[in-house]
Amino acid sequence: MIRNRRRLVNPGIAAVAGTVIAVSVGIRQGWGPALLSAVVLVGWVTLLYVLGGAGTDTGAVLGQHHDERQQLVALKAARLSLIAVLGAVVGACLIAALAGYPVWPFEILAAIIGIAYFIGLRVYGTSPDEPEPQQPQPRYSKLGFRQDRTAG
Amino acid sequence: MSQADLAAALGVSRQTVISIENGRYLPSLPLAFRIARLFAMPIEKLFDPDAEEES
């Protein structure tokens, strides 16, 4: 049951994000392009759900029931995906600059990726300045008796 | 014991058991301890760090 619920996480996130995008497209560009976005979204969500039930590493990662090795596989896949996104952002930036279009949306994307990377290093890394674990200091009462010892 | 039984006993996937058997994946310490306890053997009898260094 829990496994089935976990399987809904990724398709659910994609459905919510895709619906927001499709509605935004509908409001600004008309409901024709929005319908196309919705069709692509339904296909993508279905694919995520179906793959999430497969008995493979891909299924385990997409279905949120991965073990430690599959988590490592997911991290490596995410790293590859990040490199592809960075390449796409740099490429889009170059094309936009050469074609005379504004490049700031791509610069914002690149900045978000860079900042997130350094936040990740900070959050998941260990500082060399981190103090060594201290032995608990004995506690004494005002009369000088140790208080952290139990009788016996 | 089949790979599927072993995977179920360890709480990992069958693919992970296959990867460990083939030497393509080194398990974490907690998983290595679970394997050692399951087979009632010391870890160093199951995993040889020198063999990994040579490859």
pLDDT for the residue B52: 55
Quick one: three-class SS letters along A34-97? HHHHHHHHHHHHHHHHHHHCCCCHHHHHHCCCCCHHHHHHHHHHHHHHHHHHHHHHHHHHHHHH
Check if A69 contacts B (Cβ < 8 Å). Answer: yes
ipTM for this model: 0.83
Contact A68 B16 (CB under 8 A): yes
In DSSP notation, B10-49 reads HTS-HHHHHHHHTTS-PPPHHHHHHHHHHHT--HHHH--H
Question: pLDDT tens-digit profile of B13-50?
Answer: 999 999 999 989 999 999 999 999 999 999 988 887 67
Contact B25 A60 (CB under 8 A): no
Residue of A65, A66, A67, A71 for testing the chain B interface, max B β-carbons within 10 Å:
A67
Question: pLDDT tens-digit profile of A55-107?
Answer: 899 999 999 889 999 999 999 999 999 999 999 999 999 999 999 999 999 99
> Which residues of chain A does B28 touch, with a Cβ-Cβ cutoff of 8 Å?
68
Contact B13 A57 (CB under 8 A): yes
> Which residues of chain A does B12 touch, with a Cβ-Cβ cutoff of 8 Å?
67-69
Q: In whole angstroms, give the CA distance from residue A71 to residue A59.
A: 12
